[in-house]
Structure 1
Amino acid sequence: MSLPNRCRLAAAVQLSLILALPAAAIAQETPTQASTRTLDAVQVTGTRIRRAELEGQVPVHTVSRQDIERSGLTSIGDVVQQLTGSGSALNTKFNSSGNFGFPPDGSGVGAGSAQVDLRHLGSRRVLVLVDGIRWVNESSASGVGAAVDLNTIPMSIVERIEVLEDGASSLYGSDAIAGVVNIITRRDFEGGQVTLNYGEFEKGDGATSGIDLSWGRTTERSSLFLSLSHTEQDPVYARDRLQSRFPVPGTGVALGSSGTPTGRFMVRDPNTGAMLDLTPNTGDNAPVYDPTQTGCARTDGFHCFGTDDRFNFAEYNMLMTPSERTGVFGQFRFDISPNLQWYAKALYNRRESTNQAAPEPIFLGPEAGTGNPLADEITISARNPFNPFGFDLVSGDTLVMIGRRPVEGGARVFEQKVDTQYFNTGLVGSFEAGDSLWFWDVNAAYGRNKARQTNYGSYNIFNIAQALGDPDACAAVAGCVPLNIFGGPGTITPEMLAWIQPIVRDESQNELSQFSANISGDLFGLPAGQVAMAAGYEYRRYEGWYQPDPLTVRGHYNGVPSQPTSGSYDVNEVFVEFDVPIFGQGALGERLDLSLAGRYSDYSTFGGEFTPKYGLRWQVSEDFLLRATYAEGFRAPSIGELYGSDSRFDAQLDDPCSSQFINASVEANCRALGVPEGYAQANPQISVTTGGNPNLEPERSRSFTTGFVWSPWFANNVSWADRFDFEVTFYRHDIQGPVQALSAQTQLDLCVQSLAEEFCDGIGRATTGGINAFNNRLTNLGSIKTDGWDVDLYWTTPVTTAGRFAFAWQNSFVTRYEAVGGAGQRQPRRPGIEVEDSAIPEWSSTASVDWSYNAWNASWTTRHISDLMEDCGGAATFPVCNMPETGTNRLGSTTYHDVQAGYRFNWLEGFTLTAGINNVFQKEPPICLSCSLNGYDPSTYDIPGGRFWYLRADLRF
């Protein structure tokens, strides 16, 4: 059908939503073509109705293939995380194995994955589709994931990415509370393409390289597209960047670990009653203990443990983790008849990634806080040939804590292999009924992610306990040799390591089977136009399991313990959507449309749920559009959240009852909790036990958006502008009963402040006062409320003697974010605050300018993040805490500049060379004192700092 003049705005806005469309592509269209071309009915993200109007009731952000190539990035996750509306999510800059442990949702650490978070509501609340079909959730070999790993989808197969930042449960079902990311694959492709790329940081590390091979053939009745891709990313080590060489920048080893290569020994001498906190003298591999020296003025083989003795674990970490991804994809379509098409697509992807942590410490005694009785309740025999103290070290009596880090065993290395298999087939057809053309489709899809993780460098705490016990009992066990944890580095021999150091292997899998049938068309006519409808049915079945190493299941693993998880559920859904024209051109404007949608979902785990959605689209004039939506949504608890077995994560907690934090208002409560006077927290790393809850209810949400699109008549098809579009959107999300565990630090603070059972239940303390048990479970807690604004501007100039320019400026402003616990306590996350390795900037902005002239093209992009505030924590007394009077640190606003240029040669079907530099002015990310990863927030800022240059060669034939 021919596009009438009154719809010029719709076409212009949708085209402008393709971020800063490269001028080379824009130049191929004339103004006349843009305003008069014939459109087929298509389905876009945000509606199930096939329609010709390009601009609907909801704002859809489109990232084109050209935008992806302009970024210089090789991961879909990295591309999406740069959108201004994206929040903190896992990526390959999270060196996330080791002490991160198991999050409360049972998903595992997601090592090596890249996820997407919209509106700062969490990756679990974003639905990821591929060509409108759900993608299977990640598998990390450490749990049953509840979010999609975008690294399981090769970049080479992507045509564009459509991002709907609005609640859409009525259209797509569960998980679409925060929005939808729909990845559209390349389909109509003629000929071949070879793409080579290489880039690295100017320091010569972090190299990224890849090759993409694509080939397609299109005939009158069929189309075939094949793709083979391989991408490699090399590591960047923390020790190679000045800012990340120590646990917290600017504090040296003061905030390092008390688990050291020489060992820290907090003991009570039963002969003198003296409480001692000792470490062997440097270079003394067989320290001699003199019981007559009860203080710190010592002349034996020990000295009192001090700040300078702490261990710098940061130098073993990675700022960027290595990853290798290989993907094969094929898509075939065949027209059985003019009104019937069959299609099939298949994908296989292998991701191999590695994370690395410092050598694993061995913490023993009641103050160790590991939650493992084999460590917390250990007895070290006086007959151990290496025990210099001459008495049994009994937990809770003569032993308070031992921290020894066996550097002899090397770093902890976690290697992941993740295999993704996907198959999708279906029929697409159309038919005429009366004067209406109806479209229908049926689809079946299966996806599976299977992961295996191999862990080198961890220890067997059961064997450690045997090797530290009675030597005669150890001698009776084949392979057991007494263990020396009392000497310095090198005193743990290969024979000792052979007894205590296993290789740990974990596996997990996620599967998704689904079937859907849809129909869309015009029902009948009204004076203002046709009433359109879409309806459909969908069935999905989720299955997932996680199997840790048998050593871990037995409780013998010295690292983070966990138990197996398995579960499944299915859902049947029906939906309907209507688009009703209220009036046409008249005194009230050009057109007013009402959209109505509803979905009923029947889950095997909790029953039925109905979610409606209402929308208005008012074309006030030829150049001004108003729109608004209201939607109710839900998110069903995932397999990990429902069935996750007991596991643990290690949290950095400040005990309010410790002498360095206590104040008069809580002193009496601390005594009531059994904390003795003068207690000092020895180890801030506290093990927190968590697990699933089969009684969880779905999260329920309400979403509201409103805004306008203005494409002024005086700025379209004029001498200085082909198009000029201004778009403003207000959003609000309200989630009730979010599935979460109360922040462990918040729970601990509230327990000490109130002594209330609801907070103190599950927190246990040793006789010494230290926390030796911490139970933190999932439940439906409180609410999350957030709102803000998106303000976007797009301007494209006509072709001139200087070429053609396209300007795009996107902005997101977060005006509110409130997370409230079940008892009304406000959680620490809010706009402008950095907390728990993530941030919500009050303002995020991206501006880009594209230029093209004949065979040349170039672009300049700036990305801005407003400043943040954080609690300095243990670094409050150091100069690096830049606001010591309030104990806070300001992370200054950060702006990155990226540049790219390319030239197209007329070889074969085209050969293009492209060069680019990201972070041209070498902007370093601001120092984060509260972050647990190398003094950076890897989900908010580009890490590591410094320039990253890249080259890309693209040949079409």
Structure 2
Amino acid sequence: MTSLSLHPHRLTRAIQLSLLCLLPAVATAQESTAARTLDTIQVTGTRIKRAELETQVPVQVLTREAIDRTGYTSVADVVQHLTASGASLSTKLNSSGNFGFPPDGGGVGAGAATVDLRHLGPKRVLVLVDGIRWVNESSGSGVGSSVDLNTIPLALVERIEVLEDGASSIYGSDAIAGVVNIITKKNVQGGHVEVQYGDYNLKGGGTTGVDFSFGKSGDRAQWVVGASYFKQKEISSAEYKWAREPVPGTGLANGSSATPGGRSVFAPADGNNTYGGLCPLAKDDSGNPIPGSATCNITLPNGANYAGTGFPGNFIPFTTANRFNFAPYNLLLTPNERKSVFGQVRFDFSPSASGWFRGLYSERKSANEAAPEPIFLGTDAGVYNDWAETKLVIPANQRYNPFGFDLTTIGPDANLFLIGRRPVEGGPRRYEQDVKTWYAAGGLEGSFEVNSRPWSWDINAMSSQSKATQTNTGSYNIKHINQALGDPAACAAIAGCVPLNIFGGPGTITADMLAWISPVVRDRSKNTLSQASANITGELADLWAGPLSFAAGAEWRRYKGEYYPDPITVAGEYNGVPSGITVGSYSVKEAYAEFDVPLARGGFWGKSVDLSVAGRYSDYSTFGGTGTGKIGLRWQPADELLLRMSWAQGFRAPSIGELYGTLSRFDATLVDPCNNAASTTPKCVADGVPPGYEQVNPQISVVTSGNRDLQPEKSRSFMAGAVWSPGWAEGGSWASKLDLGVTFYRHTIDGAIQAPDAQAIMNRCIDSRDAVACASYTRNDRGQIVRFEDILANLGTINTSGWDFTAHWLLPETGWGQLGLDWKATWVTRYELVNESGQAEPKRPGVEVNDSSIPEWTSNLTANWDYRNWNASWSLRYVDRLRESCAGANGFPICTDSAADLHWLGATTLHDAQVSWRTDAWMKGMKITVGVNNVFDKNPPICLSCTLNGYDPGTYDLPGRYSYARLSLDF
């Protein structure tokens, strides 16, 4: 792909200014570059090289100057702040210990950063580098199905082109929501060094970045090499006041029942012995005590150890005040260190043929942290582990059993319902990733003429791999825990086994005990992508309104993915999230054709009318063949106005994790509709809930798994829009240029691959006794949910639509410089996800749910001022207000309306500022930049339904002001 050039017509120049947000200095640089480039170019969204920059679909182009003005230090941060972007993994939204294993088999993407367009998910966004696919991420915890943008250093980026429209007929699978095409630096003369340091006003979070590149461009050869280093330090959740409670403003009401003091729920050997009221009898519907039904629900006073005087000793009833506050152990910002080296070369063999090669190696070290891992044992544990649920016996003679009788989970005599212990002695869970990515690609390209008509061709091949290991400390071996709590003689016969004091309170689990139950868990995963393609484009014939252009080609790809959990996980001994081995591969062969048909030039239809038609056929080794098509219309009635529309089919093939992922578990935070007083309602009684039922733990384990029978998702996309550059606003006293744009979009996805939302399943079962929903989970005779299955299927339909607005206003140049204003906004009018039962899931515009949201309005406005060697910019980033359920805050003053179960997250506007100064007096140029993001230190709105840190990190920036300084040097 060659660099952008300007078309001589006034409208095209205006449109380019609007799309690129260029100011006069940048426009001048572009014009000087254009004189050295081809008359035809290739832009994202079409394979046909053409002179017009504006095609049938809108492409947002982020120039290097625009990227630098953001102050961001990664590709992910840049694209995640587009108004059309949704929530996706980042250093703010990344927590191995709390996310579990999602049903797509991709793991948690620990340390990765992805991009989501139109809120359709990262898996439905295709990421290209110079028009060629990039390998999917690997995190050590699964087979990822989206690209980790952290593997692409910002130092090699010339610009980023973002197509926010379906493009499967042009690029194949995954381009349902759009395409992010990262264009690398090629025409480089000399060297460039850039050093940046930034920090938050919270404790920690310092970022350091160093980028270097050097290149030469001669008559026949161009080459560039470079290196990049980035390091970001972590910020603890304890630094943000609203992240210091499980749900802000609720104290310990939503804390964990697994505590340092331990929580024990069991039936005493004598079912009539209430131990002075500590273990009360259950009551019947009339409120009368039921003989033999005594149940203990006990703990130790906060901070206290067992007194050792025999049961009941100093045990007390378990209440909310005894719950554990896990929130301060999380991270607001995860640490991340990245190193990259890259290089590429292009050589012209002749005026009409050239070859190129590109290579990259990247290494990332990152980490996540979570509260000390809870140990849950008993029939109500619901952790899908037989060692904890059906094989545990704590005999009366176990050294640390204070009750004087056996506790068992086995058979009809089971009397141990729950033990919840948080071994703070072992420290927090820590997940550390080491990810290595390499990429090599090369190709040949050239041009020729047929009957004086220009044609171009290219062939290329690529091979890439991302390989990761993840090391987990602070977790436990449930088999060893079982042995340490079991028969003392059996434990003594096992080398290394040390009896475990699980009832003794904080500080009573010794180093020897930890050594027996605390393994170092090592997981590894790998993603490999190989690809080869050939393309040709040119003019077939002259029609009544101009040349008939076309592009055609063929492509072959092979994907391979592997995930190997630690052997103790495979053996079912891991206390944390279980998972199995995933290994799979598939290949695809594709062919496509695209035509650009001129329908009219001049006359009644104005300046021009052009039709584009494209089709692609893909043959997958997993499910067979599928075809997609696209049609677009471009109408330019006059130089000042462009109208365009397109309709496209799309598809997304099931990923390796979705196809071959084995049984694993996700710990979902769910609110049981039958908890407490609701337990006696007819609907809850019908669900098998006994009177007085109390949900033991808000985290319920959900089993997930891949499905080899999955079929590809199918989509339909429609786009219509206009770009207007009024002549009366050009060269006037109040405007040098004014460009306005509007685009309507609509996406429909059928057979969306997903697991049903667990909370929605439970609510649907209770509300309507839906048979499919009620079959998804199982309660035991105490009402506790002990099995919840959530297997992937082609069961969803997604409909979303909305509007994009753009405006670029360039004021006349004065003695005080020149000011330009750029505005981009997205209005989401519809987002509806219909489940397998034909009912809409709760996710929709203006609603915060499941730790993510779709704001109805998002908007970015930037004012940019140029004066001689100075540049200053001020940006406003706006997120519309959201509504959510009060969740665990219902009844607390922090909830906006407890009676209606409604809480509002207010509209938020953040201000960013940057000033830079450049001089050519030293070497080839030096530039000093200072900036502040979130100038007024505005905190994100409090989120009551979010499970971590008191706010939604996928929608809002990290709390706190971020200040940075950058030094750039050309030589």
TM-score in same-fold range (> 0.5): yes
TM-score (norm 1): 0.96
State which drifts further: 339-348 or 713-722: 713-722
Rounded Cα–Cα distance in structure 2 between residues aligned with 1:461 and 1:660: 34
Alignment CA distance shift 1:829-1:718 (3 Å): same
Instruction: Tell me the equivalent position of 1:907.
Output: 922
Residues 660 and 896 (structure 1), Cα distance of their counterparts in 2 relative to 1, 3 Å cut: farther
What corresponds to 1:887 in structure 2? 901
Contact 1:480 1:499 in 2 (8 A): yes
Instruction: Please tell me whether the aligned partners of residues 144 and 639 of structure 1 are also in contact (alpha carbons under 8 angstroms).
Output: yes
Relative to structure 1, is the Cα distance of residues 760 and 577 closer, same or farther in structure 2, using a 3 angstrom cutoff? same
Deviations 1:10-49 (A, max 9, x none): 222123211x33554346578xx89999862110001100
Matches for 1:255-270 after TM superposition, within 5 Å: 255-270=254-269
Q: Which moved more, 1:471-480 or 1:374-383?
A: 374-383
Q: Deviations over 1:913-951 (max 9, x none)?
A: 0000000011100001111111111110001x1211000
- Which of 500, 510, 516 is the matching residue for 1:499? 516
**Paired residues of 1:381 and 1:393 also in contact (CA < 8 A):** yes
The 1:289–1:110 alpha-carbon spacing in structure 2 relative to 1, beyond 3 Å, is: farther
Give distance in 2, aligned partners of 1:155 and 1:4.
28
TM-score (norm 2): 0.95
Partner in structure 1 of residue 668 of structure 2: 651
Contact 2:679 2:691 in 1 (8 A): no
Q: Is 1:723 matched with 2:740? A: no
Q: How does 1:243-262 map to 2 (within 5 A)?
A: 243-262=242-261
The aligned counterpart of 2:285 is none
**1:171 paired residue number:** 170
Change (3 A) 1:661 1:330: farther
Partner AA of 2:201 in structure 1: E
Distance (Å, rounded) in 2 between the aligned partners of 1:195 and 1:185 = 17
Q: CA deviation at 1:254?
A: 1.8
Deviation at 1:111, TM superposition (A): 0.9
Contact 2:6 2:30 in 1 (8 A): no
Q: What amino acid is aligned across from residue 881 of structure 2 in structure 1?
A: D
- For 2:734 and 2:61, how far apart are their aligned partners in 1? 25
Q: Partners in 1 of 2:955 and 2:680 — Cα distance?
A: 34
Structure 2 CA distance for aligned equivalents of residues 483 and 633 of structure 1: 57
Q: Give the AA of the match of 2:844.
A: R
**Structure 1 residue matching 2:138: 3-state secondary structure:** coil
1:924 pairs, out of 932, 939, 951, with 939
Partners of 1:539 and 1:927 in 2: how far apart?
48
Contact between 2:659 and 2:707, CA under 8 Å: does it hold in 1? yes
C-alpha separation between the residues in 2 aligned to 1:4 and 1:88? 37
Query: Are positions 1:139 and 2:138 aligned together?
Result: yes
Aligned equivalents of 1:339 and 1:301: distance in 2? 88
Write the distance in 2 (CA, Å) between the matches of 1:717 and 1:597. 40
Instruction: Decide whether aligned partners of structure 1 residues 278 and 240 sit closer, same or farther in structure 2, where only a CA change above 3 A counts.
Output: same
Change in CA separation of 1:794 and 1:37 when aligned onto 2, cut-off 3 Å: farther
CA distance, structure 1, for counterparts of residue 85 and residue 185 of structure 2: 24
User: Are 1:12 and 2:32 matched, yes or no?
Assistant: no
Question: In 2, distance between residues paired with 1:344 and 1:287?
Answer: 72
- Contact 2:7 2:52 survives alignment (8 Å): no
The equivalent position to 2:331 in structure 1, one of 318, 324, 330, is: 318
The amino acid that maps onto 1:379 is V
Give, as a single letter, the amino acid of the residue that structure 2 aligns with 1:936: Y
Structure 2: distance between partners of 1:482 and 1:261: 18
- 1:938 matched residue in structure 2: 953
Pick which of 300-309 and 691-700 moved more: 300-309
Aligned twin of 2:378: 365
State the shift of 1:755 in Å.
4.0
Amino acid at match of 2:22: L
Residues 620-699 of structure 1 mapped to structure 2, 5 A cutoff? 620-662=637-679, 664-670=681-687, 673=688, 675-699=689-713
> Which residue does 1:297 correspond to in 2?
none
Matched, 1:285 2:305: yes
Where does 1:103-142 land on structure 2 (aligned, <5 Å)?
103-142=102-141
* Superposition deviation, residue 202 in structure 1: 2.1
Equivalent in 837, 845, 856 of residue 823 of structure 1: 837
Write the distance in 1 (CA, Å) between the matches of 2:766 and 2:167. 41
Give the corresponding residue for 1:72.
71
| Cα distance in 1 between the residues matched to 2:239 and 2:337 | 22
In structure 1, what is the Cα distance between the partners aligned to 2:111 and 2:904? 30
Distance 1:38 1:203, change over 3 A: closer
Alignment partners' CA distance in 2, 1:140 and 1:305: 39
Contact 1:137 1:449 in 2 (8 A): yes
Mapping 1:847-858, distance limit 5 Å = 847-858=861-872
> How far apart, CA to CA, are the structure 2 residues paired with 1:109 and 1:401?
28
Contact 1:860 1:897 (8 Å CA) reproduced: yes
Corresponding residue for residue 281 of structure 2: none
Does the alignment pair 1:426 with 2:443? Answer: yes
Distance 1:4 1:222 in 2: 26
Counterpart residue identity of residue 947, structure 1:
R
Cα displacement (A) at 1:288: 4.5
| Contact 1:848-1:859 at 8 Å conserved across structures | yes
1:84 maps to which residue? Answer: 83
Distance (Å, rounded) in 2 between the aligned partners of 1:236 and 1:762? 39
Q: Structure 2: which amino acid aligns with 1:877?
A: G
Q: Distance in 2 between matches of 1:406 and 1:307?
A: 19
Cα offsets for 1:603-652 (capped at 9, x unmatched): 11111111000000000111011100000111100000000000000001
Q: Which runs of 5+ in 1 are unaligned?
A: 294-299
Query: What SS is found at the alignment partner of 1:477?
Result: coil
Q: Give, in angstroms, the shift of residue 822 of structure 1.
A: 1.4
Question: Residue 276 in 1 paired to residue 296 in 2?
Answer: yes
Q: Is the 8 A contact 2:533 2:556 kept in 1?
A: yes
Which of 426, 429, 448 in structure 1 is aligned with 2:465?
Answer: 448
Alpha-carbon deviation of 1:490? 1.2
Shift of 1:833: 0.3
Gaps of 5+ in 2: 274-291
Deviations, residues 75-112 of structure 1 (Å, cap 9, x unaligned): 11111010000011111112320121110111100111
Q: Letter of the aligned partner of 1:286 in structure 2?
A: Y
Does structure 2 conserve the Cα–Cα contact (< 8 Å) formed by 1:649 and 1:688?
yes
Change (3 A) 1:687 1:35: closer
Deviation of the 1:145 alpha carbon = 0.6
Q: 1:340 is matched with which residue?
A: 353
Identify the match of residue 811 of structure 2 among 762, 772, 797: 797
Range with bigger deviation, 366-375 or 113-122? 366-375
Equivalent runs, 1:95-110 vs 2, <5 Å: 95-110=94-109
- Deviations for 1:532-571, whole angstroms, at most 9, x for unmatched residues? 0000000000000100000000000000000000100000
CA distance in 1, matches of 2:132, 2:767: 49
Q: Which residue of 1 aligns with 2:752?
A: 738
Asked whether the 8 Å contact 1:23–1:851 carries over to 2, the reply is no
Cα 1:796–1:661, aligned 2, differ >3 Å: closer, same or farther?
farther
CA distance in 1, matches of 2:567, 2:362: 28
What is the rounded CA distance, in whole Å, between the counterparts of 1:539 and 1:722 in structure 2?
Answer: 49
Query: Matches of 2:148 and 2:131 in 1, distance apart?
Result: 17
8 A Cα contact 1:534 1:576, kept in partner = yes
Q: Which moved more, 1:66-75 or 1:395-404?
A: 395-404
Query: Which residue of 2 is the match for residue 304 of structure 1?
Result: 317
Distance 1:138 1:4 in 2: 38
Match of 1:457 among 461, 474, 497: 474
3-state SS, counterpart of residue 98 of structure 1: helix
The aligned counterpart of 1:955 is 969
The percent identity for this pair of structures is: 55
For this pair of structures, how many residues does the alignment match?
942
2:533 to 497, 516, 521: 516
Contact 2:44/2:161, CA 8 A, preserved across alignment: yes
- Partner Cα separation in structure 2 for residue 832 and residue 797 of structure 1: 35
**1:582 and 2:581 correspond:** no
Contact kept in structure 1, 2:927 and 2:968, CA below 8 Å: yes
The CA deviation string for residues 448-507 of structure 1, in whole angstroms up to 9 with x for no partner, is 100100001000000000000110110010100100011121111111011000000000
Q: Once the two structures are superposed, what CA deviation does each residue of 1:270-326 show, in whole Å capped at 9, x if it has no partner?
A: 2124211111134542335766x7xxxxxx311111111111111111000000000
Counterpart secondary structure, 2:702: strand
Q: CA deviation at 1:588?
A: 1.9
Give the letter for the 1:815 counterpart.
Answer: T
Aligned partners of 1:474 and 1:106: how far apart in 2?
36
Counterpart residue identity of residue 435, structure 2: V
- CA distance in 2 between counterparts of 1:188 and 1:9 reads 27
Give the residue type in structure 2 aligned to 1:720. Answer: W
